[in-house]
Amino acid sequence: MAIKNKNEHMKKYSSFILIILAAISFTFSSCKKFLEEDPKNVIAITNYYQTENDAIAAVNAIYAYLNSTSTGSTAGVYHSTFWVIAGCASDEMINKNVFQPDIDQISNFSESPVNNSLEETWTMHYKAITLANIAISRIPVIQMDTILRARLINEAHFLRGLLYFDMVRMFGSIPLVLQEEEPLTPVTASVDDIYAQVIADLTVAEDLPDSYTPGDGRGRATKGAAKAILAKVYLTQQNWQACADKCKEVINSNQYALWDDFADVFKLSSRGGKEAIFSVGFGDGGGSISFWEVGQFNVRLLPPALSVDGVQNAQGWQVPTQNLYDEYDPQDRRREVTFITQVYNPDGTITTIDPYIRKYWDSTAEPQGNGSANDYPVIRYADVLLMYAEAENELGNTNEALTYINMVRKRARWDGNVERSAVPDYAGLTQDEFRAAVLKERRMEFVAEGQRWFDLVRTKTLETLVPIAKPGITPQDKHYLFPLPQYEVDLNPNLKQNPGY
């Protein structure tokens, strides 16, 4: 039963603050690895926000909430829930984990406001937002290197903008908490006001560096990351010109490029490479000390048939729809990289299985296929090319749109050695045909990258495309937003449940 008593609410809020302080304190001594900037000493909370190291640790604590399960009783924002929800609430994946009925509900479009995965998503986003608010409030008064201070503040703005962008798309009208101290029951803001704040935060973050020197912050937000996420905000708002402009700024920066072979995108050696615009690291995060918990890509996505004699821990909890697998040309390089349909047994025999998702598994670097140290790609360069193509098509610039969608198509027919005859360039498409083509291209390019539900929602195709992949399941109008967690609604009388729930 949900807790409604205000005293209990105060206890919950106090516990939350303690978790936040503990996270900052823990991050102080532990946060090298993925970010590769490490305050050397743990400092008492009473002496906090006094030094340059305090400022670095305060921002590192926000990053920690993006991935770590050491942030409390639940996983970090992008650890194992966000991308699973976005995949299962679409035509991309179905749930086979009998111990996660909440994901079953999402996959079947029968979710209710009492859903652990949605509550976790809400909670972890707001915890990270709170840390960003603290950093934005406290760092400006710290006496330290002014260039570093400005950069850290801008990183916090970027992260807050990114987190609110997730939340407004998933839940709609929600509290817009921007100050370190807010009422225990904040009022909700309009969707327009939330988007305005997202744009404001990301615009400030455009002053971030283009890149960082080696060993000084792989995984930190950059100017390109701010522009790319801004482009996605404008795409979602159907502000086609603004989207195209931001995409072109990223393209013209010459900071990014596609890997020639789609398989190279997901190799551990490619983490932080030329296609990565903003990623969240797991395992060792590419650094020298193991702090971040391993990711769950392999345990969730690889087939149980790989688990031989206890060597593997593949569970196959989330699997692709057959319709998704069938979407690919058999010679599309992305199909063989994204899916696994055969398992090689110890006795030399081969077992053919239904498709599972293997794209995050670098079987050379991680032969056991247990926990994964691969990055979660929040946004990569292929996304910018496809967003630009989509925006240009909407603006009536068909030739320009075709040029950029075909860059992604060309990579899909290249296996690292030869260019295949499959996946030919698009030509002569009408505007409507191009809309369908780019949505299909995004589907094949970004499997299990937390994109599909958002794409179907913004293109208003949820009700038409999901039943094709999941016969008998038809989303309704209400599924263009998720329900607010009932626990939060019971605690805060200012929250209004989304229609239909």
Q: What confidence score (pLDDT) does residue 69 get?
A: 59
State both tokens at 501: 């729930």
Quick check: 359 and 266 in contact, CB under 8 A?
Answer: yes
SS (H, E, C) 319-373: EECHHHHHCCCCCCHHHHHHEEEEEECCCCCEEEEEEEECCCCCCCCCCCCCCEC
Residues in the chain: 501
* 279 three-state secondary structure: strand
Fill in the amino acid letter for 133: N
CA distance linking residue 102 with residue 114, whole number of Å? 9
Angstrom CA distances, 468 to 107, 444, 459, 479, stand at 14, 16, 16, 17
Render 463-501 in DSSP notation, one character per residue: HHHHHHHSTT----GGGGSPPPPHHHHHH-TT--PPTT-
Its sign, for the CA torsion 394, 400, 404, 409, is: positive
Query: What's the whole-model pTM score?
Result: 0.91
CA distance linking residue 263 with residue 41, whole number of Å? 41
Give residue-wise pLDDT tens across range 334-368: 999 999 999 988 888 999 999 999 999 999 998 88
CA dihedral 288, 294, 295, 301 (to 10 degrees): 120
Cα 183 to chain centroid, rounded = 29
Q: What confidence score (pLDDT) does residue 43 get?
A: 39
Segments of the chain scoring below 70 in pLDDT: 1-47, 69-74, 215-217, 284-292, 308-311
Q: What confidence score (pLDDT) does residue 73 get?
A: 53
Half-sphere exposure of 346 (CA within 13 A, CB side): 8
* Domains located in the chain, CATH noted: 11-94+112-237 (1.25.40.390)
Fill in the amino acid letter for 37: E
* 93 three-state secondary structure: strand
108-121 burial by CB neighbour count: b if 16+ within 10 A, else e?
Answer: ebebebebbbbbbb
Q: What confidence score (pLDDT) does residue 227 get?
A: 99
Q: What confidence score (pLDDT) does residue 210 get?
A: 96
* 176 three-state secondary structure: coil
Structural element, H or E, at residue 318: strand 318-320
Cβ of 87: how many Cβ atoms within 10 Å?
30
Q: What confidence score (pLDDT) does residue 416 get?
A: 80
